């Protein structure tokens, strides 16, 4: 019997900032504010830490790059790898021919 994990809740940037404002301005404990908002208490502290470190909280939009961007990125990575290999071969060839000239 396998239990299915609940999907992650995503919150807007405005919701996060408002929750942090409530936590800062209120004299109520963070656990009470979190319960009222329907989130975990440690989530408030995590958002506060993000705000302190980065100066902003993460937005709710977390998504993969579009398929076209993804394929273009993989093509560029392949091209880079090929050019780096060619560069290494040319360096070795230059060393080899420099030794022949001496």
| CA atoms of 50 and 64, how far apart (whole Å) | 22
Tell me the whole-structure pTM to 2 decimals. 0.51
Q: Which fold has domain 9-61?
A: Arc Repressor Mutant, subunit A (1.10.10)
Q: Report the SS3 class of residue 82.
A: helix
pLDDT tens by residue, 35-56: 999 998 899 899 888 888 887 7
Please tell me the predicted confidence (pLDDT) of residue 69.
72
Are the C-beta atoms of 23 and 44 separated by less than 8 Å?
yes
Give the domain ranges of the chain: 9-61, 64-102
Distance CA 39, CA 1 (A): 28
* Closest-CA residue to 61 (of 8, 10, 7): 10
């Amino acid at each position: 019997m396998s239990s299915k994990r609940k999907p992650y809740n995503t919150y807007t940037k405005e919701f996060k900032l408002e929750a942090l404002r409530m936590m800062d301005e209120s004299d109520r404990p963070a656990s009470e504010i979190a319960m009222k908002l329907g989130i975990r208490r440690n989530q408030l502290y995590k958002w506060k830490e993000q705000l302190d470190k980065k100066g902003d909280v993460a937005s709710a939009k977390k998504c993969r790059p579009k398929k076209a961007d993804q394929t273009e990125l993989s093509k560029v990575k392949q091209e880079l790898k090929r050019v780096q290999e060619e560069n290494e071969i040319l360096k070795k060839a230059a060393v080899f021919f420099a030794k022949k000239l001496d």
